[in-house]
Every structure is written in structure tokens, then in C-alpha cells.
Amino acid sequence: MSQSAKDRILRLRADLDHHNRLYYVEAAPEISDQEYDRLYRELLDLEAAHPELADPDSPTQRVGGAPQDAFSSAAHELPMLSIDNTYSPDEVREFDARVRKLLPDEKIQYVVEPKIDGLSMSLRYESGRLVRGLTRGDGQTGDDVTANIRPLHDVPLKLHGKSFPDAVLIRGEVYLPISTFEKLNAAREKDGLPLFANPRNAAAGSLKLLDPKESAKRSLRFYAYSVALWKDRPDTHRACLDQLKAWGLPQAPGIDLYDDIDQLIASIDQRRQNQSQFDFATDGLVIKLNSLDQQDRLGATSKAPRWCIAYKFAAERAETRLLKISVQVGKTGTLTPVANLEPVQLAGTTVARASLHNFDELARKDIREGDLVVVEKAGEIIPQVVEVRKDARHGHHGHAEKFPVPNKCPVCQADAVRDPEGVYIRCINPACPAQLKERLRYFAGRDQMDIEGLGEALANQLVDAGLVHSPVDLYSLTAESLTQAKEAGKLERIGELSTKNLIAAIADSKSRSFDRVLAAINIRHVGGHIAELLAAAFGSIDALSAASADPAQIEAVPGLGETIALSLRDFFASPSGQKLIEGLRQAGVQLKVPAHQKKEPQLLAGKTLVVTGTLPNFTRPEIEALIKSLGGRAAGSVSKKTDYVIAGDEAGSKLDKARQLGVKTLTESQFLQLIGRKL
């Protein structure tokens, strides 16, 4: 090996590290992407020719390694505590008053940072080299995701500079840029895959992929926000942030110092308006004492530090014009009014449609086409019209007629009738194409038959092409029939590999458990939880069908009532219901609980549990399945009737609500202790 080759490799590594820093930390690139790629390829070629010069910290080693079987967990050297939330300027003043009471006659200075809606991360560096990345987990232990952290260009594999602590923990937030999130969801929609609810959801899913190469493709980013376990640290948090930047770690824009609480509070509205300028999701601000000595002296409660607080932004609202009211048809035939709006920027996204809930609500608020309306969107909640500016009605808009309650389905023109409960208007034609499309999507959903690849776009095409008239028809599809439909111009954007994967996913769905099949067939009022109760009580579709003729047998099951009993009776007595069940039977779908299936002791019988955040050792479906197997109910929202909230990494508003309501919260390990389990 020539000395010139070695020198060139070292020079290229230094140059690429320099340009990575300029691009990701300074946002001031000096060279074009093409020139960077040329240098990168040259280094790849030289390293391949001289494997004896391999270096794990080379810029070429950011690519993911081999797929992992699972993530291991590890204890945090210092706990990663959550932060108490406030929702009003008065609560911020109360926080400041508590601080000043504990630190009388001392100078108080605050650092204010944007609260990035991502995934908290702890990075450990030893002698300047990255050795481990842990998720927050339950605050005491987290998942070791080092292999998925290494590809992030914002995270230096080796800290910049010449002198470093022997060991240092750098905390920060892994996030997915909004622009990347939108591209990712567009690609998933095209492929018929479920969409991510928001950038945070996408970031968590991307970071927890077991194949680091796939995780690397998601283009996750990182902002550092604090340092721990640093022996010779500076005196202030602001100085720590400056040192992080010098080491090559980026921080979020908009970090400021305030000596006066009034000035800080006065800045909140402007900061909220500025959040739309950022390419990351924010849900508020984090306010921290700048003095690290003061932080140490204030310490923390068992749950949160006393020296910082999060100010959460309220739901964002905007005014816009309601151009037209349309009617959407759901999977059970429910007709729902939808507001089609003049597009408006709201919570970092462009909103053009909003929910109007039902026709009674439409009449109560007196919402009319042409009205100037106030639209609200909080986090991942669907935008909704919350107010009408009736004083702005004038001219044509002032004479707009009230929107009529439909008596016909807008899609199939069948009769639309009001439910006996008097709230919803429903299309009574079970063959309505709009209903069928929604039922098909629901049938294939992740919590039902989990047919990957069968998303909204493909479901619509299958119905429009006449290939599917019932979920049963899915099991008659073949690669040949799909290919012929594509060649005839009836199907778009489905290639040979997608076709093969879809047929395989449909075949695989035959093994889904009886309760999931029962939920998938879309009997009115029978969702996942009710389906589990019915499957456990009756064991087979035939036994359930027989019992449905006598509603009293259904009502005798704890948790069920007259409404569900009558709905089951009507379904099993109907020709369409009987045809659907027989079709699924012929297709080989699971219609009974296997005789060998062991029933777990019902330790959680009568208990309602909510899971929030990311757990160290369970996925959300796994922990909810365990809850259900023990007789508990896995609910999606927290209320006064909730018995426990199991909180994991990045627990959000559900944990906040649990604390407000006094609901008992558990970590994963505490939950396992409750049910007498060990990992």
C-alpha cells in the first residue's frame, strides 16, 4: 500500500466529515450534492481496495448493518424523566413563582427551546466515540437502537475537536422532517400501505425497524438538547449547547435566553406563529433554568425535574371559507357531512377538508355553504369546524340555504333513513359501492385480517373493476385475474411483485383468529373488543349464530347488551349475512376458536387499560393482546373509568390526562409485576 493512498483516505474522511458538519449542523454547505457524492464514491473505492485501513468512524460506515432479531434493553445511567406540562401563561407564572421561592434573592435566567414532537434519545460517547444509543423507554431502561442511530448524519460517530470527556451522555430528539413525512406517506399510499398518523409516529416506527438499512432509508434527523454525566461541564445550559454544537451536534433553531418572565411570556404567541417555518413538528416550548447549579439544587420529584416545564400550545385555529358541503358514505352506510374548504395552513399542514360530524350537529351550528368558518386542528386530530362567523354573512353568502338532510344515498341513490337512535342517517343498500369500498378497507385492516398492500386506492380499484363485490371475493383473486385486469386498464400501479405479495397476504389472512374475523365482517356495533367477548363466550360462528336467535343469550354475556344482541340477530337472520359467513367458510377462514387454545387466567377481568408510548419489550398489538388474553379491555383513550395506564417511551397526552384524572400509571415492568409475569 502506497503512503499516498493512505493519506488520500484520511484526507477524504476529514473532508467528508467537514462537509457533513457544514450541511447538517451549520446549514451552510460549501459544495454541491454531486461533488459530495463524487468524494464519497472515491472514498468507498479506496477503502474497498485497502481493507486494512477500515475505520468504524469513517463516513462510509453510516450505512445500516445486518437485520436484528430484536432490540435489547439497557438501564439508563441517569434516569430520563418526563417534563410537567402547562397550558396557559398563568401556569408559566406559577412555575416561575415556585422557582423563585426555592431560590430566593438569586438571579433567574431561563432558556426557551422549541418542544420537538419526536422520540427522545440518549447517546453515550466514550473518548469522543459513539458507543450506544438508547430510547427513553420507561425513563429507567430503554431500547438499544445504536445500529439505527449510526446512519443519522446529525449524529457524529466521533465528536469533533481534540479533547473530550472520558464519558458523556448527550440527550436529544430524533424526528422526521415534515417534508420527508409527507413524501413517505405519499409513497405508502401509492403502495396501498397504512399511512402514518403524524411525523412523530413515523419517526418512532422508523427508528424501531429491525433492519438498520431500512431504517436508514427514512432520513431521520436529530437535535441535541442537553448533556449529562459530564465531569467538567460548563456552568450554564446555554454553554453546554454551544459545546454540543462545537462537537458537531445540531440544535433546534429558536433557542433564546430570558432574564424576565414577562418578556418570556410575551414571546410565546410569536413563537407559536413561527413554528410553521420549521420543517419539524412542534407542540410547544420547553422552559429551563439556565444555571446548572440551580438545576442541581432544585432537583426533581419522582416523575419530573423542578427546574423545567413544558408549555403546550393549544389547538390551532384558522379562518377560511366553506366552499361546499359533501356527503361521505361509511362502511355501515352512515352518511356524514364533510366541509370542503378553501385551503388554509393549520398546524403545519394544508387543510382542505374538515369533519362536520353529523346532520344534527350541522343544523345546531347552522353551518352553510359559503360561510366563513373557524377550523381547529390539535395534534393528529382530524380538522373540524368549531365556529361559524355568522356576522360575516353578506350578499350571496348571507342567503345560502340550510343544507338539506339527504333522503337518498349520494352514491347509489338508495333510500337513506334515520337510525332509531335518531342521530345518524344511513344508506340501507348493503350493495352500495361506497359502503363496499369502506368495508373492504376495514376487513383488510391491520387489527382485523391484516392484508398488507390492500389500502384505500387498491380497494377502490377492485370494486370499480368489478373484481370484488364482497370481502369473500378477495379469496378468489389470482395473480392471473389481477394481471388481466391491469392489462385491460382496470387496475393501475400494481406490478408483478405487488400482485404476488397481495395474493400471499390474502392467503395468510385465513389464519387470523376467530375474534379478528368476527370483527372484520363488520356486524354493526361489533368492534374488536366485543368480538373478543363473543369469541370467548361462544367459541364458533355456528354457536354464535344459533345463540343470536335468542337475544337473551347474548345479553347474558358480561359486557354485552340489547343493542348488540339485536344487531347480531338481524345480521345472522339476513340473507347477506348468511351468504358472507358461508363464503368465508368455503374460503377456509378461521370461524372457531381452536380446541387446543389455552385460556389464560382472567387476572384483568373487568379492568380497562390504556397503553401509551413505546414499550421496551412489547409492540402495541402484543401488549394489548396480552391484556385481552387476561380478560382486560385495551382501550384507546383515557377516562375516569380507566383502571390503569401503561406508559412507555414518549408517552404523550394520554399520560397527561391520566395524571389529571388520578388514574394509576404503570411502567412496563410494573405491569408485568401486576400480572405475575417475567420477560
Q: Name the catalytic one among 6, 101, 115, 678.
A: 115
- Residue 434 to residues 377, 482, 578, 608, Cα–Cα distance (Å): 27, 21, 21, 34
**Which among 508, 509, 511, 578 is positioned nearest to 541, based on CA atoms?**
578
**Which among 343, 387, 326, 400 is positioned nearest to 361, based on CA atoms?**
387
Quickly count: other Cβ atoms within 10 Å of residue 93's Cβ. Answer: 15
Q: In whole angstroms, what is the distance from residue 535 CA to residue 309 CA?
A: 47
Q: Which residue has the cell 445500529?
A: 147
Quickly count: other Cβ atoms within 10 Å of residue 576's Cβ. Answer: 11
Q: In whole angstroms, what is the distance from residue 170 CA to residue 77 CA?
A: 12
Q: What is the DSSP letter of 59?
A: G
In degrees and rounded to multiples of 5, residue 556 shows phi and psi of -75, -15
Helix axes 33-49, 3-24, angle to 10 degrees: 140
Three-class DSSP category at 102:
helix
Beta-bridge partner residues of 372: 321
In degrees and rounded to multiples of 5, residue 457 shows phi and psi of -60, -45
115 is catalytic: yes
What would the 3-class secondary structure string for 149-211 be? HCCCCCCCCECCCCCCCCEEEEEEEEECCHHHHHHHHHHHHHCCCCCCCCHHHHHHHHHCCCC
300 Cβ partners below 8 Å, 6+ apart? 81, 306, 307
Q: In whole angstroms, what is the distance from residue 374 CA to residue 346 CA?
A: 11
For the four alpha carbons of 538, 541, 542 and 546, in that order, the dihedral sign comes to: positive
488 Cβ partners below 8 Å, 6+ apart? none
- What length does the chain have? 679
- Residue 629 to residues 538, 606, 613, 624, Cα–Cα distance (Å): 16, 12, 21, 9
- Residue 667 to residues 80, 515, 605, 671, Cα–Cα distance (Å): 13, 28, 20, 6
* C-beta of residue 115 within 8 angstroms of C-beta of residue 275: no
Q: Tell me whether residue 471 is exposed, middle or buried, using C-beta atoms within 10 angstroms of its C-beta: 0 to 12, 13 to 18, 19 or more.
A: buried
Q: In whole angstroms, what is the distance from residue 576 CA to residue 557 CA?
A: 26
Beta-bridge partner residues of 114: 285
* Cell, residue 232: 467538567
- Catalytic machinery residues: 115
